[in-house]
Amino acid sequence: MLDAENPFTRVALAGRRDSPELFGPLSVLADFLARRGHQVSIEAETAAIAPLAGYQRIAAEGLGINNDLVVVLGGDGTMLSYARRLAPFDVPLVGINQGRLGFLTDIPQAYMEVMLGDILDGHFVEEKRSMLTARVLRESGSTPTELQALNDIVVSRGSSGAVIDLSIAIDGQFAYSLRADGIIIATPTGSTAYALSAGGPIISPTLPVFVLVPVAPHALTHRPIIIPETASLTITVERGNDVSLHGDSQTQIPLLQGEQITITRSPHKAKLLHPSRYDYFSMLRQKLHWTETPERLRIGLDEPLL
């Protein structure tokens, strides 16, 4: 049950598990939350790297059951990992940026107490971000393998370097064949990640769409295609002996020639809480340095969003 006066009674802290700089800010945040009267727990593997006395450790599997809010310290990769885990439980996440750009972890570490305190006091912007579900249909007839992604699903060639041939169907209708290094299926959240570097568009997270972005296609006429998120996408590996399916660049499934992948909107959404003055396009201007002068660029990325 949530306390009506304090909807975030139980707050868990989780961090990037290979970060040697984690202990300091984790300790500061834990003490800050405890002073405010929150019940503080620390994800078990995070606590193993940054052991803090006096706080309950909780397994990653239990984060969505026993908490009202999870605060993540790290970069966007860390945020993606916890977002996938917590989406089925509708538990919100707040990101403290210890990475580089930080499209998802949008609170600078230097301002984390002030901005997190504002969120805990009820002053925040809530977003629910669409996710993807990919299912691999094996030719052997075995149980389909499934994975979830918040940023993107990628079908790509492996280390052999040989291009692959794919066929793409949308809602059961053949759309096109593709000879390329691979294809990215990105959510609006993932449109600023790998898809952007491959030439895809930036998509507002409020739009209910996905984008298909070819990776190094052999035909120059292949261009990104935006489809409604209600569509069902089927990708068949027509040729390729070293092909893999990736989810958020963190999970990988090998694929065989002839196998199919179906990609649909996930039944779950990731819930993100941002500072009260958060604005998506303001964030893009800051992270991507739009309209900035050279002298302004030297200031860096550590200022809070205005």
Positions annotated as catalytic residues are: 76
- E strand spans, 65-123: 69-74, 93-97, 107-108
Amino acid identity for residue 223 in this structure: R
Residue 30 near residue 85, CB atoms below 8 Å: no
Amino acid identity for residue 18 in this structure: D
Distance CA(193)–CA(200), nearest Å, equals: 9
For 297, the 3-state DSSP assignment is helix
User: Residue 33: what are its φ and ψ, rounded to 5°?
Assistant: -70, -40
Q: What is the sign of the dihedral through the CA atoms of 281, 284, 285 and 286?
A: positive
Distance CA(242)–CA(123), nearest Å, equals: 49
Distance CA(74)–CA(82), nearest Å, equals: 11
As given in the structure block, the two tokens for residue 24 are: 């300091």
Distance CA(288)–CA(90), nearest Å, equals: 30
DSSP state of 88: G
Residue 178 near residue 220, CB atoms below 8 Å: no
User: Residue 188: what are its φ and ψ, rounded to 5°?
Assistant: -55, -35
Distance CA(38)–CA(9), nearest Å, equals: 5
Distance CA(224)–CA(304), nearest Å, equals: 33
| Look-up of token digits 């990628």 | 154
